[in-house]
A = this chain, B = another copy of it.
Amino acid sequence: MRIADVDVAAAARLPADPSRSAMLALLLDGRAHPAGALAQAAGIGRPAASAHLKQLVGAGYLEVVRQGRPRYCRIARPEVATALESLAAIAPSLPVRSLRQSSAARLRATARTCYDHLAGPAGVLLHDALRDHGQVAEDAVTPTGVSCFDALGIDVDRLRRGRRPLLKTCLDWTERRPHLAGALPAALLVAFTDRGWTVRRTGLDGAPNGRQVEIDPAGWEQLRDWLGCSAGCHRR
């Protein structure tokens, strides 16, 4: 491949836009993100983000994975990541970096919600702990689990009577590992929030979507304590 035979300008045009490069920078973690999150990261509206993603997918930079309702995008080929990183090597440093922005990024890294239940690292940790300690087995709640959740004020039998599935395994696209969805995880998030372990946010950029969850260090410790306690429930 000779440099004169390819259209370098076309390749550079896509990351040359600040909105697209912000999306790509977020996607450089190798994980898949929904279009809405990418729009939020770029600071633009959904229509604009949709147009950008259309271009990026059309150029073969990104690929789309369907997982439930939303569309998840991730970097399609390692060459794309390589090109972005080599561009970063000659890129000037960003002049200012707001505290709000950096704290938002840190927040996003530790906890988020998937609709109405805990996802992200905390969601995966919850999934692993409940499965390891026997409260959950094969997408079902075990008898030990019922009593353990009852201690948090959750009536598993009542949830089981509802139309919503009690428990589903959902692949977490920010962690690429499974977390738990369904009526029980939703109730667990409510229980965690009631106890102040997790706090609903109004949105990273002030938008009132209320889908973000904050776990401060103290809450994180208490949540992990409960997960350890749940192990005790099992042994008991």
A: residues with CB less than 8 A from B are 1, 3-18, 20-22, 24-25, 28, 59-61, 77, 79-80, 82-94, 97, 105
Contact = CB atoms under 8 A, between A and B. Distances in A.
A229 to B, nearest CB: 37
B3 A28 contact: yes
Contacts of A93: 5-7
Nearest to A95: B7
Given A3-B85, A79-B89, 6 more contacts: A3-B25, A8-B24, A9-B17, A13-B16, A80-B90, A83-B90
Copies of this protein chain in the complex: 2
Contacts of A85: 3
Nearest to A28: B3
Main secondary structure of the interface of A (DSSP, over half): helix
Contacts of A59: 92
B91 A82 contact: no
Contacts of A20: 9
